Amino acid sequence: MSLYEENPRVFIENLAKELKKIIKQPDWTPYVKTGMHKERPPADKDWFYIRTASILRTVAIKGPIGVQKLRVKYGGRKNRGVKSEHFYKGSGNILRKALQELDKAGLTMIAEKNKHKGRIITSKG
């Protein structure tokens, strides 16, 4: 089965289990929110591996992609009480650290394609 044919949720869960063997989760992950739009940190203790697997899948599908585009992808609406909701980008530090771990593992690399510069998947990934 190819990346496009398999159910994304199942693919990401299986990939997260494999990434758990390869990469290391930062020490601060139990305490951090995933974006300004969130009220609390994630409940799942392995959320970093799931997010990293999702990032790896996105890099594989969308070609050279950078942290700013990923921040938009993982952003969301903030509930501001009586005021109208507003879109906020996701945390850049989490995405940057996840991409650095994927680079260290040799699964992604920085490349430039035409005018676009960002991470692409390697043959190992």
Domains and CATH numbers, the chain: 8-121 (1.10.10.10)
Q: What is the mean pLDDT of residues 89-111?
A: 92
Q: How confident is the model at residue 125 (pLDDT cuts 50, 70, 90)?
A: low
Nearest 5°: phi and psi at 121?
Answer: -85, 145
Distance between CA atoms of residues 54 and 49, nearest Å: 9
pLDDT for position 68: 92
Q: Say if residue 2's pLDDT is above 80.
A: no
pLDDT tens-digit series, residues 41-76: 888 889 999 999 999 999 999 889 999 999 999 999
CB 57 within 8 A of CB 11: yes
Place of tokens 């903030």: 78
Taking residue 124's Cβ as centre, other Cβ atoms within 10 Å add up to: 9
pLDDT for position 44: 87
Q: How confident is the model at residue 4 (pLDDT cuts 50, 70, 90)?
A: confident
- Report the run of H or E that residue 48 belongs to, with start and end: helix 47-62
Model-level pTM? Answer: 0.89
Place of tokens 């997010």: 51
Taking residue 2's Cβ as centre, other Cβ atoms within 10 Å add up to: 5
